């Protein structure tokens, strides 16, 4: 049995490991974890790092806009769209501080057709980011 069609976006940031941006299986599109980084750069929108690569400060609003844009890039490159998201798992590194801003922006981005959502606080992510999304969307005729 096939693991599904591999999808690699030309606009989303390069993965930080050996995995695709997404896989299509039937009429479902499974996205790998997506963060706010920008393609072709080590810089992270809204993040200031010290010389050792530790976070000095970050702007969760800037990161949210960037991660939502990256998810949209992958969806569109795969032939799906923002309104076809059905389930999103969100990882935040500081729930208490960042949830109000993230939740407000979520409501703006998904005001017409919100997908199911789970939000978790985790200790850290593989790169110095404060948010990552794991998404499932539909694709094709549904």
C-alpha to C-alpha distances, 77 to 46, 80, 100, 121, 128, nearest whole angstrom: 25, 7, 30, 29, 26
Domain of residue 63, CATH code: 3.30.1330.40
pLDDT at residue 2, rounded to an integer: 67
The strand ranges marked E within 72-130 are 85-92, 116-121
Mean pLDDT by 10 residues, the chain (142 residues): 84 93 96 95 90 92 97 97 97 98 98 96 93 96 60
Q: How many domains, the chain? A: 1
Range of the domain at 84: 5-138
3-class secondary structure, 22 = strand
Q: Say how far apart CA 130 and CA 59 lie, in whole Å.
A: 9
pLDDT at residue 114, rounded to an integer: 96
Pairing relation of β-strands 47-49 and 55-58? antiparallel
Name the nearest CA neighbour of 105 among 48, 66, 74: 66
């Amino acid at each position: 049995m096939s693991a599904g069609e591999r999808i690699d976006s030309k606009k989303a940031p390069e993965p930080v490991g050996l995995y695709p941006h997404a896989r299509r299986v039937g009429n479902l599109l499974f996205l790998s974890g997506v963060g706010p980084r920008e393609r072709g750069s080590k810089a992270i929108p809204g993040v200031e790092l010290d010389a050792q690569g530790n976070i000095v400060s970050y702007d969760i609003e800037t990161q949210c806009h960037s991660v939502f844009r990256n998810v949209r890039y992958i969806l569109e490159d795969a032939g799906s769209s923002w309104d076809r998201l059905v389930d999103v798992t969100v990882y935040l590194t500081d729930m208490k501080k960042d949830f109000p801003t993230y939740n407000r922006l979520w409501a703006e981005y998904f005001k017409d057709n919100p997908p199911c959502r789970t939000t978790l606080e985790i200790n850290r992510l593989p790169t110095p980011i404060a948010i990552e999304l794991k998404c499932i969307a539909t694709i094709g005729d549904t």
